[in-house]
Amino acid sequence: MVPGEPGMTDGESEEEKQERYAEIKRLRSDPSTLYALLGMKLEELGEGFSRFTMLAEPRFYNAAGVIHGGALASIADAAIAAALATLIDAEHEMMATVEMKINYMAPVRGGNISCDAKIIQKGKSVAVGESWVHNGEGKLLAKAMATFLIKER
């Protein structure tokens, strides 16, 4: 299944969908999570799509004086997971990243970054998503692809 095609949300009212999306956002804004530790904010959510933002702060620098790749990988993974969360039935299914590949295109020395993600394939037990990390000027900083396992709860 890909976004826009019939899926688990068939027959769902707009109100029900917005309630489900609000819960996805709530879970990703808990102050005790990695999202909060890194300052990631889920700014936009749609069927099979998400957008996160984060301020690339000096506390995330590596020894070379640029933002550590792990911070970019974290926002990429979070964005793909949130996009997938819009396509599963959270009451009956759970998901977990089982593989992720990321290509770094440019160093990050600070400023605002955003990460857009979309699900490109969703089956019954496996989903694949992509994400793109950009700086405030729109320059591509990193691109990631991840595979998620989907299991019954």
b/e per residue 75-88 (b: at least 16 CB within 10 A):
bbbbbbbbbbbbbb
Summarised one tens digit per residue, pLDDT across range 54-94 is 999 999 999 999 999 999 999 999 999 999 999 999 999 99
Q: What structural domains does the chain harbor?
A: 14-152 (3.10.129.10)
DSSP for residue 125: S
Neighbours of 9 (CB within 10 A): 15
The reported pTM is 0.91
How high is the pLDDT of residue 9? 56
Summarised one tens digit per residue, pLDDT across range 102-113 is 999 999 999 999
Q: Is 17 helix (H, G, I), strand (E, B) or coil?
A: helix
User: 8 vs 49, which has greater pLDDT?
Assistant: 49
How high is the pLDDT of residue 114? 98
